Amino acid sequence: AQTVTQSQPEMSVQEAETVTLSCTYDTSESDYYLFWYKQPPSRQMILVIRQEAYKQQNATENRFSVNFQKAAKSFSLKISDSQLGDAAMYFCAYDDMRFGAGTRLTVKP
């Protein structure tokens, strides 16, 4: 069974600094997709970034980028130039079936 682990229940970052959220997963598949979702206090989860496993290049979306290490089954999210609006719960997901328990990110002004 595929499992997703987020080892950091809470993280904190200073505004304008960079923070990295960790995610590891377990799978026997070779082709799959990984996702990071953000859940602000409004509760509505939105997609931050998506990575296709067969692609070597790490996905980037503006200030958000991933460090995808397929052999290590690691999929971390880097947020650069952190903003107050980045404060939220962040969930790592394997396809649409397996989610991590989330990391609560606090951004300090």
Partner 1 sequence: ETGVTQTPRHLVMGMTNKKSLKCEQHLGHNAMYWYKQSAKKPLELMFVYSLEERVENNSVPSRFSPECPNSSHLFLHLHTLQPEDSALYLCASSQDRGTGNHEKLFFGSGTQLSVL
Nearest CA-CA partner of 51 in 80, 72, 31, 81: 31
Among 28, 44, 56, 62, binds partner 1 (CB under 8 A): 44
Could you give the CA distance from residue 73 to residue 24 in angstroms, rounded to a whole number?
A: 6
The answer to whether the Cα torsion of 16, 73, 100, 98 is positive or negative is: positive
Q: Does 11 bind partner 1 (CB under 8 A)?
A: no
Nearer to partner 1, 29 or 56 (CB): 29
Among 1, 30, 97, 109, binds partner 1 (CB under 8 A): 97
Kindly identify the residues of this chain, within the stretch 14-43, that bind partner 1 according to CB under 8 A. Answer: 31-33, 35, 37, 42-43
